[in-house]
Structure 1
Amino acid sequence: MENDRKIAVLIDADNVSEKYIKYIFDEISNHGTPTYKRIYGDWTKPQLTPWKNVLLNYSITPIQQYSYTTGKNATDAALIIDAMDILYSENVDGFCIVSSDSDFTKLAARLREAGMYVIGMGEKKTPTPFIAACEKFKYLEVLAAIPAASDEPKGKKPETQKDGLADIDDLIESIKIIVTESSDEDGWAFLGEVGKKLNMRYPDFDTRNYGHSKLTPLISSLKQFEIQPRRTSNPHITHYFIKNKA
């Protein structure tokens, strides 16, 4: 099960603000249990002082890495070396790399080659190669956006994510293709399967990127699909199917 995963959480303090810490660990709890919690930076630098105030509260181990050479990112190197050591220890099922830096693209790819579940988290400025190298990628600004746009008063149009792998037009086209490929002879496709395939195509796919907390209201808002609820033998469970509009 997903929540049984043991996840190593490695944070690049040079590229992430401490204001996101709660949202980072709230999101990780949806994917597994953090077993390693480490954060990397030169803790002699005053700009990292705000991080020091939250480390104890979340039991994160700070890893000191001095910047010996100008122009070289020693923090990145330390994080990468630790990640490989943890990989070879065979004590985890996955990694969460928290950074907006493309320098971790090859690391994410290497970890996935080894069969690891890899989540990336970073700001919307994160380069596309790093996003694509992760199995899933979460935008920190979106995780921290509370309340969600779908909970805002009616009449207010939610903003849509434009910086990741799929803008709204790409998303609609991908959903249409997936529905066509996955549908029965009447054109209906199970919404859960559509969501699963969207996650496979776009590592950064998250309904919250488009202003909705769940997939069904997002699909409904696109106005391109029919939605059909179907009851199951369990009165508390309803399955949803979608169909491309003619």
Structure 2
Amino acid sequence: MTNDMKIAVLIDADNVSDKYIKYIFDEISNLGVPTYKRIYGDWTKPQLASWKTVLLNYSITPIQQYSYTTGKNATDAALIIDAMDILYSHNVDGFCIVSSDSDFTRLATRLREAGMYVVGMGEKKTPTPFITACEKFKYLEVLASDTADAVDITGQNGKHGTSKENMASKKELIQSLKTIINESSDEDGWANLGEVGSRLNNRYPDFDTRNYGHTKLRPLLLSLNQFEIEARRNSKSQNAHYVVKNKVK
């Protein structure tokens, strides 16, 4: 994945607040270029009126979808149909589906089967099936706060927020890291930090160091006090790379 990917950004207005829009597109800019920017909803509903200014400021195309039948989500159907049309146009490298609705689980799976990079964004209430169907999943509350108070990793009843049920706990994270390091280390127990991060991302689609109050993996691992980290330089280059090993107690 490179940061010049062409990405279709499809937003479910029924399940996302307009207050997150800046953080959504800031995050997208780290991944690539949003070539499609569409948002779906019944724009005759008063509760969606707050989106008007946001749509103009971010050049997002609103797709009108009337709620024909009570209990049936026509918005979801419109988004799914558009996603498949975009897929077959072969104009994009990936999709960003912004919703907290599990109805998009099959869509995310189908897009990945077609070789697309799929990132999901939603609130912490998002059901696990949709999260795991995406290659990566970003919590909107975390993107908006981006502080150490985003998730409680202390395991204590303090002033921090509470973690999402399916988000890896501190204990589970440490155990997974130890296993990954053991599996990918050399004979001296050292593993490449970048490879460890990649394997961790593959194991947990919703893994993001910001979920645990850190912007990078290295300071997160140091804060856990379970790992040793060293900077190493290639004799032909001044650029350092980091290696990590499990602490021996």
TM-score normalised according to structure 2 size: 0.92
Partner of 1:73: 73
Change (3 A) 1:207 1:157: farther
Stretches of structure 1 that go unaligned for 5 or more consecutive residues are 151-155
Q: How does 1:230-241 map to 2 (within 5 A)?
A: 230-232=232-234, 233-235=236-238, 237-241=239-243
Give yes or no for the alignment of 1:63 onto 2:24: no
Q: CA shift at 1:42, angstroms?
A: 0.2
Partner amino acid for 2:168?
A
Partner of 2:85: 85
Secondary structure at 1:56's aligned position in 2? helix
Give yes or no for the alignment of 1:227 onto 2:229: yes
Q: CA shift at 1:94, angstroms?
A: 0.3
**Aligned counterpart in structure 2 of residue 217 of structure 1, from 211, 216, 219:** 219
Q: CA shift at 1:157, angstroms?
A: 8.7
Partner of 1:140: 140
The answer as to whether partners of 1:128 and 1:165 remain within 8 angstroms in 2 is no
Give yes or no for the alignment of 1:96 onto 2:114: no
CA distance in 2, matches of 1:46, 1:240: 52
CA distance in 2, matches of 1:42, 1:162: 30
Partner amino acid for 1:97?
I
Partner of 1:149: 148
CA distance in 2, matches of 1:125, 1:133: 16
Give yes or no for the alignment of 1:7 onto 2:3: no
CA distance in 2, matches of 1:227, 1:30: 26
Equivalenced residue count is 239
CA distance in 2, matches of 1:40, 1:8: 13
Partner of 2:152: none
Q: CA shift at 1:187, angstroms?
A: 0.1
CA distance in 2, matches of 1:118, 1:179: 27
CA distance in 1, matches of 2:64, 2:222: 49
The answer as to whether partners of 1:158 and 1:210 remain within 8 angstroms in 2 is no
Partner amino acid for 1:123?
E
Change (3 A) 1:159 1:229: farther
**How big is the alpha-carbon RMSD for the aligned residues of Structure 1 and Structure 2?**
1.6
CA distance in 2, matches of 1:92, 1:33: 10
Q: CA shift at 1:149, angstroms?
A: 2.1
Change (3 A) 1:222 1:160: farther
The answer as to whether partners of 1:195 and 1:215 remain within 8 angstroms in 2 is yes
- Runs of 4+ displaced beyond 3 Å: 156-165, 232-235
Q: CA shift at 1:239, angstroms?
A: 1.2
Partner of 2:170: 168
Partner amino acid for 1:205?
F
The answer as to whether partners of 1:55 and 1:62 remain within 8 angstroms in 2 is yes
The answer as to whether partners of 1:160 and 1:168 remain within 8 angstroms in 2 is no
The answer as to whether partners of 1:40 and 1:75 remain within 8 angstroms in 2 is yes
Partner of 2:52: 52
The answer as to whether partners of 1:24 and 1:140 remain within 8 angstroms in 2 is yes
Secondary structure at 1:230's aligned position in 2? strand
Secondary structure at 2:14's aligned position in 1? coil
TM-score normalised according to structure 1 size: 0.93
Partner of 2:114: 114
CA distance in 1, matches of 2:95, 2:168: 24
Give yes or no for the alignment of 1:180 onto 2:182: yes
Q: CA shift at 1:165, angstroms?
A: 3.8
Q: CA shift at 1:89, angstroms?
A: 0.6
Partner of 1:245: 247
